[in-house]
Chains A and B, each alone.
Chain A
C-alpha cells in the first residue's frame, strides 16, 4: 500500500502547522528568550519543509492517492491485519478485567488459527507460550501481570 508522496506530504504539512501553533502557546521561561517553544517550532518548520517537498515530488508522479500493491489488493490480508490490531486493542481493554492468562491464550489461539495452524497444535502452543511468558515475567522478573479473573 503505497500512499502517494503528495498525500503524505499534505498530512505532514497539516500536522506541522498544528504543531507550530500549539508550540507557540507554550510559556516562556521568565527572563529567557529560549524556552520550551523553540525546539518544537524548529521541528515543525523542518517537517513543514519536508511536507512541501513531498507534495511537489508526489504531484509529479501522481497515479492516484494510493497505489495498491499485491498484498493490499487481497481481501484476506486486510482482514488479517485488522485482526492483529484488534487483538492488541483487545488486550489493552480487556486484560485488566479478565487477566493476562485468559487474554494471552485467546490472542495466541486466534492469531495461530488465522495463520492456518492446525487446531491442536495451536491450542498446545497457546497454552505453552502463555505459561512460559507468565513464568518468565511474573515469576522471574516480578512483573505484576494483571490477574483478572484468576485474582482474589
Chain B
C-alpha cells in the first residue's frame, strides 16, 4: 500500500500536473494537425523531458501520445485527412458522416470511445503487468533473446506491407545500434577513430531525424493547399447513451483486440485501428452501410487504437520490449533516466510503476474536457498555417538534438537520419522497424552473445527451457508462415497450367 501512496505523492505534485496538462495540450495540437504524427509529437517532446525527473517525463509522454492519437480523428472527420496514421482506417467513414451533417456524432463517438478504450487498456495494463513481471523474474538470457527477436519479427511481418523492406529497415536500425563501445566485448565498432561515435549514435537525435526532420523535408517539397475545415456546431454529447447501449459488443471487441494488438511487440495503434475496422465490417449485420457514414466501425476502431496505446506498455514495462514506435522511444528515455524497464523495476521501484498507472488513468480522464475543447477549437487549430509551423519545428529539432549532448554532433546525426528517413519513406521502406532495431539492438546482441557463451555455441540450448522454447517456436512460425503461404499460393497458381 505504501508504494501506491508514494506513487500518488509522486504524481499529484503541482509541477507534475502542470507538465501533464501542457503535454496534453501539445499532444492535442500536434495530433490534430495533419502531417504531424503522434510519434512526431513524442519525438519533439523527448528533448524537453530529457531534463525532467522520471515521473513527469513519463507522464508527459503518456499523456501526449494518448491525446495525439485521439486528436488525429479531428482532421480525419472534418477534412478527410487523418491527423495521425492511427486514424487513417476510418477517416473516410467519419468524413462521410460530416458530409451527412452528423459530424458532431462522429467526433463525439471518437472522443467517448477513445476515452473508454484508453481506460480499458489501462485496466488490462494494471492487471496484467505485475502478473507477467512475476513470470519474467525467472527469465534468462535465452527468453530475453527470443522476446527481443519476437518483437522485431512482429514489427517486420505484421507492421509492414513488404517484409523485405521491413527487414531492411530493421537491419539498418540494428547496424546503427552496433556503432560505438557499447557491446559485450567493449571494442569500438564502426567508429573509424571518431571520439564522438565511441558513445554510439545518440538515440534521441536519430529519432528526431527519423520522425520529425524527415517530415519537415516532406513538407518543403510538397505544396499542398490547406483546406478550411467546417465547424462542428451541434451538441457533441448527443447520442452517447444510445451508442454505448447499442454498440457495446463492437466497443468491447475493439477494446480487447486493440489491447492485444498493442501488447504484441511491434504492432501498435495504427494496425489495431485497421484490423478492428475490418473485423467490425466483417462481423456487422449491416456491412453495406460501411463507407457511407456509419458510426459502427468508427466506434470499434477508435476504441481499438486508444486501447492499443496502453496495451503497448505491457511488454514495454515488463520485458523492456517495445510494443510500437512510441513505446520504443519511451524505453530509450527510461534507460537514460536509469529507470530500466523489466521485472526488477516492479520489485525495486514499484512506486514508479504505480505512478505510470495513475498517469494513464489521469490522461484518459483529462481527455474528456480537453478533447471537447479541441473539437470546439478545431477550426483554429486546423487554420494554423503550416508554412509558419514547419520552420519553427525544424529549429526546435535542431536545438533538441543539440541539447542531448550539448554538441553540434547531435545536430549532424539528426540531419543524417532526417535524410535517411525521408529517402526510406519515399521508397516505402517503413521507419518503425528501424527505431525498434536501434532500441532493441543492444538487448538482442547482449542476450544472444551471453546465451551462445553459456551454451558453448549450441543452438539447441535456445529451445531447452520451456518458455524459451515456446517463444522460439512462435518466432520461427512468424517467419515461416508467410513463406509457406507464398509457396502454397504459387503452387496453386501453377497447378492449372500443369493440368
Could you list which residues of chain A lie within 8 angstroms of chain B, going by C-beta atoms?
1-3, 5, 8, 12, 19, 22-23, 26-29, 32-36, 38-40, 43, 46-47, 50, 53-54, 57, 71-72, 76-78, 80-81, 83-85, 87-89, 91-92, 95-96, 100, 104, 107-108, 111-112, 114-117, 121, 125, 129-130, 133, 136-137, 141-145
B136 to chain A, nearest CB (A): 24
Contacting residues, chain B, for A114 (C-beta < 8 A): 220
Contacting residues, chain A, for B411 (C-beta < 8 A): 88, 91-92
> Is B276 on the interface with A (CB-CB < 8 A)?
no
| 0/1 interface trace, chain B 202-226, chain A, CB 8 Å (1 if under) | 0000000000010011001111000
Taken together as a complex, chains A and B put the C-alpha atoms of A143 and B391 apart, in Å, by 21
With CB as the reference atom, state the residue of chain A lying closest to B392.
A129
Contacting residues, chain B, for A33 (C-beta < 8 A): 452-453, 457
> Is B124 on the interface with A (CB-CB < 8 A)?
no
B179 to chain A, nearest CB (A): 10
**Are A39 and B448 closer than 8 Å at their CB atoms?**
yes
With CB as the reference atom, state the residue of chain B lying closest to A117.
B387
Which of B75-83, B182-190, B277-285, B338-346 is near enough to bind chain A?
A: B182-190
Secondary structure dominating the interface of A: helix
**Are B403 and A141 closer than 8 Å at their CB atoms?**
yes
**B399 is contacted by which of A12, A43, A78, A137 (Cβ under 8 Å)?**
A137
Taken together as a complex, chains A and B put the C-alpha atoms of A2 and B422 apart, in Å, by 11
Contacting residues, chain A, for B217 (C-beta < 8 A): 81, 84-85
Taken together as a complex, chains A and B put the C-alpha atoms of A120 and B234 apart, in Å, by 38
> Is B97 on the interface with A (CB-CB < 8 A)?
no
A106 to chain B, nearest CB (A): 11
State which size class the interface on B falls in.
Answer: 35 or more
**Are A43 and B408 closer than 8 Å at their CB atoms?**
no
A117 to chain B, nearest CB (A): 6
25 contacts between A and B (CB under 8 A): A1-B426, A23-B189, A33-B457, A34-B452, A35-B449, A36-B184, A40-B190, A54-B164, A78-B221, A80-B221, A81-B220, A84-B394, A91-B398, A91-B411, A92-B411, A104-B395, A107-B394, A107-B398, A111-B391, A114-B220, A116-B387, A117-B387, A129-B395, A133-B395, A137-B399
Taken together as a complex, chains A and B put the C-alpha atoms of A8 and B423 apart, in Å, by 11
**B406 is contacted by which of A23, A87, A108, A144 (Cβ under 8 Å)?**
A144
Given contacts A107-B391, A133-B399, A143-B399, contact A8 B427 (CB under 8 A): yes
**Are A95 and B51 closer than 8 Å at their CB atoms?**
no
Given contacts A36-B187, A89-B415, 17 further A-B contacts (CB under 8 A): A8-B168, A22-B190, A35-B449, A39-B183, A39-B444, A43-B178, A46-B167, A54-B165, A57-B164, A78-B221, A88-B398, A104-B399, A112-B388, A117-B387, A133-B395, A143-B399, A145-B399
Could you list which residues of chain B lie within 8 angstroms of chain A, going by C-beta atoms?
48, 51, 164-165, 167-168, 171-172, 174-175, 178, 183-187, 189-190, 213, 216-217, 220-223, 385, 387-388, 390-392, 394-396, 398-399, 402-403, 406, 408, 411-412, 414-415, 418-419, 423, 426-427, 444-445, 448-449, 452-453, 457
A109 to chain B, nearest CB (A): 9
B360 to chain A, nearest CB (A): 26
**Are B415 and A85 closer than 8 Å at their CB atoms?**
yes
**Are A43 and B174 closer than 8 Å at their CB atoms?**
yes
Contacting residues, chain B, for A76 (C-beta < 8 A): 223
With CB as the reference atom, state the residue of chain A lying closest to B411.
A92
**Are B387 and A92 closer than 8 Å at their CB atoms?**
no
With CB as the reference atom, state the residue of chain B lying closest to A95.
B408
The 10 closest A-B pairs by CB, nearest first: A115-B387, A111-B391, A36-B185, A77-B221, A36-B187, A143-B403, A47-B171, A39-B445, A35-B185, A80-B220
Residue from B51, B221, B406, B412 whose CB has the most chain A CB atoms within 10 Å: B221
**Are A88 and B394 closer than 8 Å at their CB atoms?**
yes
